Structure 1
Amino acid sequence: MQLKQWLFGVVVAFSLVASASARSLPEFTELIEDHSPAVVKINTVERAKRSSPRQQYPQDIPDIFRHLFEPRDPREREQRSMGSGFIISEDGYVLTNNHVVEGADDISVRLIDNREFDAEVIGTDPRSDLALLKVNADDLPTLAFADSDDLKVGEWVLAIGSPFGLDFTASAGIVSAIGRSIPTERNENYVPFIQTDVAINPGNSGGPLFNMEGKVVGINSQIYTRSGGSIGLSFAIPSNVAKDVIAQLKDKGRVDRGWLGVAIQAVDRDLAKSFGLDKPMGALIQQIEPASPADKSGLEVGDVIIRFDGKTIAKSADLPHVVGGIAPGTKVDVDVMRAGKKKRLQVTVGTLNGENTPSVAAKASGDRLGLVVEPVDSRQLQALRINGGVMVVQVAPDSPAAKAGLRPGDVIAQLGFNEVKDPGHYQALQKALPEGKLLPIRFYRDGRPTFRSIIIEE
């Protein structure tokens, strides 16, 4: 009898422990039911034309044989891709990743109830990998943003998207780390990523990352993988970064970021001791660009920036995140360690150059080359060591410029056999270009000069 009572007690105890454990696990069903309607699948089509080389043939050849020498019609190829996104306003604004829609000629947005809309691009920000779309609809379901600064490591989070085309798939995990620095191919680093172990795969890009309150804390953007699939290392753009980008894209069709004009490196243990720091921290200034905000403020090579605008710079990668998020023209305090002593300076943050392009929703048709251009500021001309040029803002699909491989952000320095001085000079040059003749065009991309050939077809 005593043995039976003991066994019964053990069973009851195990049941209570199991029940308590089950109650402590999160329940996602209500969150998914309530918020899936505002998540969308994004399908894109990119068309590319390949033209046969222009051929020359004798003028005296009989007409009956001339068709054998004529160039063939361009062959059109379609490249289809997909991603995810979510609706942020009832009147049809949709947020996704820039890489989901980059280069797309057609974009469609499909809801979980199978409604489908064509979408236009309001603006893009390659540096944060975000794009703002608009569909013609009203009374749409929406998602709300949370304050990503409140996010804690260990919190449960949920993603909804369309991995590998499997529509509206949910996956869950925890926040593994915050403030992760992942430099881009151009070695830029302006997003303090949220790292999670949520199963994110190709097709999830641009979809929402929810907290347990059903608010968006991040936009799924990247994964680390050796196989092409999830291995438990995924990265999301914080919602606070997204909110700032959305506001600027809506207001002016581009994103302006703060700029300091320094090259920096990390501070290790030995450097920390030599600079009078208690522990490795801060961003050590290696180089200062002449006439930059840093130069004008009195910052010096060898300074270790430990606080910027009241925010602690725990590691060197924190500085671009902080500076980039400050509105150009803002005066801020900078705390540095200089020769073993703390010093406070004030700097007026400048404007970061690069991919701050106007909204492509302006529907500008471009010139004879299919380009919309704008002036290049003197600072960038000086960095490229050229006296003049124009920056490409927009490239029309299937245009001569598109076929020559030009992209937004390229700086055109030569057109034909003439150096380009400014937008007015460029317009005069492109209007005078002959048809049917291959001509050189020289432009700068990522600081490197490149020659291509360009032709305006007859």
Structure 2
Amino acid sequence: MMKTFGLGAVASLSLLLSCSNLPLWAQASLPGEQRTNGYDVEAAFEPQRQVLQGSSAVFYTGRKNFLYGVVMSEDGWILTKESDIHGAQDLSVRVDKNKYTEPKIMAKDGRWDLALVKIDAEGLTPVTFAESSAIPQGSWVIGNGSSSRANRRVSIGIISAKSRKIDGAAPVVMGVQLEEVENGLKINDVTADTGAAKAGLLKGDIITKFEGDTVLKRESLIEKILDNIPGDKVEVEYLRGGQKMTTEMELMAREDAFGEQQKSRNDQMSGDVSGRRNNFPRVLQTNLPLNSRTVGGPLLDLNGMCIGMNIARANRAESYAIPLEELKEIYHKLRKEASGN
């Protein structure tokens, strides 16, 4: 049945979006229900929406949904985005219309930004994987859009580039101004609401060690900081009034620490993007109009088969997904870790 999805969806969508006989002014003014996020267009992808309904998980913190996941097994194993679920409180999960409380994070893979979560469930419908993620550029793909508590909605786009590695990580900062002194790095200023401020560091403190390594030069500290990604927690040892103290600090992306003036023009136009959106070994790139709250779920082809997992909204034109080949490999690795094997 899944292999009949594609032709119907394409035919319906082509009919809805065909406007070659309309004047130019009308082509730019399609009724809302016929636009790419409109209800008439979404209706063409109802079979794929049904797959998302049963095989994508919605994570909640309290009453607010903030993340999706991929259902990997009938008994409640789910993959999701680790940097987003890390530290979240009062967690619950909905699969289809059923709610599951007290999900447990069982294992994680920082390289791919994945977390393996277990819920107490039976009889779920795991995703069905396609034979390969290597589908042509320009192919239609479907992911999760915004959802109500009962029903999933779709986000529609295309494969917009060849699969590739995404290098680099967002520059991270502590949020301090430093001066080299005889016994370490003296803090001359602490920026409000940064990792340093939240960790309790104050003007006049002298940083002596970072992750257990002695630091006497600004350059050496910067090198150590740049080995991390936003959200990483590090141990800092410092002197206050001659007394040795230690604190744990969360490193932040420069743009988050210092505001809009640190963003590129593209980022300023991109709206809500993922906190972790780079440094992936390989991704599928799509133009799905996701945001930080709609990543984490399956990426489907027109047959309703899973070709990957949406892992990041990068900017106004790019979203990234982990290809199914790597996703399956990581899942089996994390299952072994979770079972202690």
**TM score, norm. by length of structure 2:** 0.51
Q: Give the alignment's Cα RMSD to 1 decimal.
A: 3.4
Per-residue deviation, 1:205: 1.7
- What residue identity is the alignment partner of 2:15? A
Residue 211 of structure 2 is aligned to residue 218 of structure 1: no
Per-residue deviation, 1:163: 7.1
Residue 169 of structure 2 is aligned to residue 184 of structure 1: yes
Residue 122 of structure 2 is aligned to residue 138 of structure 1: yes
* 1:22 aligned to which of 15, 27, 52: 15
1:115 alignment partner, SS class: strand
1:39 paired residue number: 56
Per-residue deviation, 1:92: 0.7
Distance 1:21 1:101 in 2: 38
* 1:82 aligned to which of 66, 86, 103: 66
1:153 alignment partner, SS class: coil
Pairs within 5 Å for 1:246-325 = 246-253=331-338
Question: Higher RCO, 1 or 2 (CA under 8 Å, sep at least 6)?
Answer: 2
Residue by residue over 1:325-362, the C-alpha shift from the partner in whole angstroms, topping out at 9 and shown as x without a partner, is xxxxxxxxxxxxxxxxxxxxxxxxxxxxxxxxx97xx9
- What residue identity is the alignment partner of 1:192? R
1:197 paired residue number: 287
1:233 paired residue number: 318
Task: Specify whether residues 33 and 177 from structure 1 end up closer, same or farther in structure 2 by C-alpha distance, changes over 3 A only.
Answer: same
Distance 1:166 1:224 in 2: 28
| Deviates most, 128-137 or 163-172 | 163-172
Task: Specify whether residues 199 and 167 from structure 1 end up closer, same or farther in structure 2 by C-alpha distance, changes over 3 A only.
Answer: farther
Per-residue deviation, 1:109: 0.7
Distance 1:212 1:20 in 2: 12
Task: Specify whether residues 87 and 20 from structure 1 end up closer, same or farther in structure 2 by C-alpha distance, changes over 3 A only.
Answer: closer
Contact 1:161 1:167 in 2 (8 A): no
Per-residue deviation, 1:131: 1.0
Distance 1:131 1:148 in 2: 23
Residue by residue over 1:28-77, the C-alpha shift from the partner in whole angstroms, topping out at 9 and shown as x without a partner, is 112212441221210237xxxxxxxxxxxxxxxxxxxxxxxxxxxxxxxx
1:252 alignment partner, SS class: helix
1:150 alignment partner, SS class: coil
Distance 2:287 2:150 in 1: 19
Distance 1:20 1:103 in 2: 41
Pairs within 5 Å for 1:83-98 = 83-98=67-82
Query: Which consecutive residues of structure 2, in runs of 5 or more, have no partner in the other structure?
Result: 1-10, 19-40, 171-227, 230-277
- What residue identity is the alignment partner of 1:44? T
Contact 1:163 1:203 in 2 (8 A): no
Residue by residue over 1:200-259, the C-alpha shift from the partner in whole angstroms, topping out at 9 and shown as x without a partner, is 11211211110111111121121233xxxxx23111111111111111011124xxxxxx
Task: Specify whether residues 181 and 108 from structure 1 end up closer, same or farther in structure 2 by C-alpha distance, changes over 3 A only.
Answer: same
**TM score, norm. by length of structure 1:** 0.39
Query: Which consecutive residues of structure 1, in runs of 5 or more, have no partner in the other structure?
Result: 1-17, 46-78, 226-230, 254-357, 363-458
Contact 2:70 2:309 in 1 (8 A): no
2:297 paired residue number: 207
- What residue identity is the alignment partner of 1:91? D
Contact 2:143 2:288 in 1 (8 A): yes
Contact 1:41 1:83 in 2 (8 A): yes
Pairs within 5 Å for 1:119-134 = 119-134=103-118
Per-residue deviation, 1:196: 0.7
Contact 1:178 1:195 in 2 (8 A): yes
Residue by residue over 1:394-431, the C-alpha shift from the partner in whole angstroms, topping out at 9 and shown as x without a partner, is xxxxxxxxxxxxxxxxxxxxxxxxxxxxxxxxxxxxxx
Task: Specify whether residues 162 and 234 from structure 1 end up closer, same or farther in structure 2 by C-alpha distance, changes over 3 A only.
Answer: same
Per-residue deviation, 1:80: 7.2
Contact 1:41 1:162 in 2 (8 A): no
Per-residue deviation, 1:120: 0.5
Aligned-residue sequence identity (percent) comes to: 30
Name which one, 1 or 2, has greater alpha-carbon Rg.
Answer: 1
Task: Specify whether residues 24 and 150 from structure 1 end up closer, same or farther in structure 2 by C-alpha distance, changes over 3 A only.
Answer: farther
1:154 alignment partner, SS class: coil
1:94 alignment partner, SS class: strand
- What residue identity is the alignment partner of 1:252? E
Distance 2:104 2:12 in 1: 50
Distance 1:250 1:98 in 2: 15
Distance 2:292 2:111 in 1: 20
Task: Specify whether residues 207 and 34 from structure 1 end up closer, same or farther in structure 2 by C-alpha distance, changes over 3 A only.
Answer: closer
Residue by residue over 1:187-207, the C-alpha shift from the partner in whole angstroms, topping out at 9 and shown as x without a partner, is 884421111111111211211
Task: Specify whether residues 19 and 169 from structure 1 end up closer, same or farther in structure 2 by C-alpha distance, changes over 3 A only.
Answer: closer
1:249 alignment partner, SS class: helix
Per-residue deviation, 1:177: 1.0
- What residue identity is the alignment partner of 1:119? P
Distance 1:243 1:251 in 2: 13
**After TM superposition, which residue ranges in structure 1, 4 or more long, deviate above 6 angstroms?**
23-26, 163-167
